[in-house]
Amino acid sequence: MAQIIDGKAVSAAIKEQVRDEIARDNIKAGLAVVIVGNDPASRVYVNNKKKACEFCGIKSFEYALPEETTMEQLLELIDTLNADKNVNGILVQLPLPKQLDEKAVIERISPKKDVDAFHETNVGKIMIGNYSFLPCTPAGCMELIHSTGVSVAGKECVVIGRSNIVGKPMAMLLLHENGTVTVCHSKTKNLAEVCRRADILVAAVGKPNFVTADMVKEGAVVIDVGINRLENGKLCGDVKFDEVSEKASFITPVPGGVGPMTIATLMKNTLTAAKIQNNE
């Protein structure tokens, strides 16, 4: 039976480190969060980010814009925030309404304030291993792997999913720690067979209960990035938890696994951004 990796406990420790450093060194840090429209899930995320800022001693600036906001209006706001010395990190909550171009919005954020690490400049830096910020979810996954005491070096690592936000950067971070990495996706042949090779398996496919016990190697570390709402209203991950937990050595639950880590890493990134900008 697998040990549960407690994302709440690991994330709480990270937030406490951030809070202690901000208090000890009297660091002024500010995070601007922009939310467009009234997507209920986005609103929950934004509220959680505000609470985390409050806990850590980071000043939180919220910009809630109406659904019909134009591209011109949003880019103008980003330009203003880029120039504001009190704002060290800028986060535009995705997804955006259909009339807005997400790629153009991300590229408008100053790479120094891009605490999501989605800007092309920051993505390139992650590729070569010379980065200031790491994308919040993959970095959070790495912290959870570290918390198990299992070393990535020399391990077979399989990532299911190739999104720019999770799958691709996750593969790079595992590679930076000397894992042997395979990225699987919808065109992968013999998916179950490939997954069964994994000492470390990261599921980021966005399909409820997609990973079943027959896809998992005995004793694997399983990180479940998925968060899906079933018809009965319950949350579940991409991994069929009950049966996979019988085979894995460590597994993240949903909720309470990767989710809290994303926000903790965002706090860490905002502190890093503040320190870099304060020294310029």
How do the pLDDT tens digits run along the chain, 280 residues long?
Answer: 999 999 999 999 999 999 999 999 999 999 999 999 988 888 988 999 999 999 999 999 999 999 999 999 999 999 999 999 999 999 999 999 999 999 999 999 999 999 999 999 999 999 999 999 999 999 999 999 999 999 999 999 999 999 999 999 999 999 999 999 999 999 999 999 999 999 999 999 999 999 999 999 999 999 999 999 888 888 999 999 999 999 999 999 999 999 999 999 999 999 999 999 998 7
Is residue 81 located within the same domain as residue 140? Answer: no
Q: Is 100 among the domain residues?
A: yes
Is residue 101 located within the same domain as residue 141? Answer: no
Check 15, 93, 112, 268 and give the catalytic one: 93
Is residue 101 located within the same domain as residue 154? Answer: no
Is residue 167 located within the same domain as residue 253? Answer: yes
For the question of residue 73 being annotated catalytic, the response is no
Model confidence over 102-128: pLDDT tens digits?
A: 999 999 999 999 999 999 999 999 999
Q: Is 269 among the domain residues?
A: no
Is residue 169 located within the same domain as residue 211? Answer: yes
CATH number at residue 106: 3.40.50.10860
Look up the pTM and report it: 0.95
How many Cα atoms are found within 13 Å in the side-chain-facing hemisphere of 196?
8
Residue-number span of the structural domain to which 142 is assigned: 136-259
The beta strand positions in the chain, using DSSP E, are 3-4, 30-36, 59-65, 89-92, 156-160, 180-184, 200-203, 221-224, 228-229, 235-236, 250-251
For the question of residue 116 being annotated catalytic, the response is yes
Q: How far apart (Å, rounded) are the C-alpha atoms in residues 179 and 203? A: 16
Q: Is 72 among the domain residues?
A: yes
Residue 252: strand, helix, or coil: coil
Write down which residue in 76, 110, 144 finishes a domain.
Answer: 110
Q: Is 21 among the domain residues?
A: no
Q: Is 19 among the domain residues?
A: no
Tell me what the pLDDT averaged over the chain comes to: 96
Number of domains in the chain: 2
Q: How far apart (Å, rounded) are the C-alpha atoms in residues 80 and 78? A: 5
For the question of residue 101 being annotated catalytic, the response is no
**Residue 130 backbone class (left: φ over 0; alpha: ψ -120 to 50; beta: rest):** beta
What share of residues in the chain are helix, strand, coil (percent, to 5)? 45, 15, 40
Is residue 142 located within the same domain as residue 218? Answer: yes
Is residue 104 located within the same domain as residue 141? Answer: no
Model confidence over 205-253: pLDDT tens digits?
A: 999 999 999 999 999 999 999 999 888 888 999 999 999 999 999 999 9
Is residue 170 located within the same domain as residue 86? Answer: no
Q: Which two tokens stand for residue 259?
A: 């989710």
Q: How far apart, in Å, are the Cα atoms of 211 and each of 22, 137, 208, 215, 230?
A: 40, 19, 8, 6, 16
Is residue 105 located within the same domain as residue 31? Answer: yes
Q: Is 55 among the domain residues?
A: yes
Is residue 100 located within the same domain as residue 147? Answer: no
Q: How far apart (Å, rounded) are the C-alpha atoms in residues 89 and 91? A: 7
Q: Is 270 among the domain residues?
A: no
Is residue 150 located within the same domain as residue 97? Answer: no
Check 116, 199, 224, 238 and give the catalytic one: 116
